[in-house]
Amino acid sequence: MSLGGEGSDDGHCGKTDGDAFHVAICQVTAAA
Amino acid sequence: MTVVAAAGNDGVNLADSTPAAYPEVLTVTAMGDFDGKPGGLSTTPPCQDGRQDDTAADFSDYATPDSSEVDHTIAAPGVCITSTWNDGKTKTISGTSMASPHVAGLVARCIEAGPCAGLSPAQVIARLRADATSRPADQGFAGDPNHPIDGKYYGYLASDVGY
């Protein structure tokens, strides 16, 4: 399964552009 | 948890593709490695897709030199890769989705084997990129930073030495 698409980094873990996918990735990487 | 992402297969700047563009992930571009040896020795690719040994895959998304994406980009074999398929058999295909599992496996081995144990995801990414960068230049590929193609940054070839 592949998950992805067009988009870019907002520099704020998805909080600025409302990117839920980015928010989720930041949460799991921060959890270490 | 360290997240490994395929760069994408449109042959464009990965800065416009997610999750590849996210700085928190280790983004993997694709290159061809048909014999496990450097030097472009193999002239018989294991599948018929017209690509070359030890050369960046033209379909692979890439970073632009001096961009922030460089800091989380690495390369791995992604041309003519044979893997299991959902029919119980195997299939040989190409794509950055075939390159990224190589690196995900390296991350797991690095954590299990010790060098990456206890490191944060950002530190794991830095470790794998540092180890790839330390690979001798003659063990790289056409398109890596030692042998750039058209100003495209595909990253250094991931290395499993010491894992």
- Averaged pLDDT score across all residues of chain B: 95
Q: Nearest Cβ partner of B1 from A4, A13, A31?
A: A31
Q: Hey, which bits of chain B come out as E strands?
A: 4-6, 17-18, 26-32, 55-56, 73-77, 81-84, 90-93
pLDDT single digits (tens) B96-149: 999 999 999 999 999 998 899 999 999 999 999 999 999 999 999 999 999 999
Instruction: Inspect the interface and report whether the beta carbons of B2 and A25 lie closer than 8 Å.
Output: no
Residue B76 has pLDDT above 60, yes or no: yes
- pLDDT at position A2 over 70: no
A28 at the B interface (CB within 8 A)? yes
How do residues A3-24 score in pLDDT, each as one tens digit? 778 999 999 999 999 999 999 9
Residue recorded with tokens 């490191």:
B119
Number of H helices, E strands in chain B: 2, 7
**Could you report the per-residue pLDDT of B19-34, keeping only the tens digit for each?**
999 999 999 999 999 9
Nearest residue of chain A to residue B2 (CA atoms): A29
- In this prediction, residue B106 carries a pLDDT of 97
pLDDT surpassing 90 at residue B82: yes
| Burial of B115: CB neighbours in 10 Å, binned 0-12, 13-18, 19+ | middle
CA pair distance B153, A30, nearest whole angstrom: 27
Q: What is the pLDDT of residue B94?
A: 95
Cβ of B1 within 8 Å of Cβ of A6? The answer is no
| pLDDT tier at A32, thresholds 50, 70, 90 | low
Rounded to whole angstroms, the Cα distance separating B131 from B125 reads: 10
Q: Which residues of chain A does B83 touch, with a Cβ-Cβ cutoff of 8 Å? A: none
Residue B13 DSSP one-character state:
B
- B85 and A CB contact within 8 Å: no
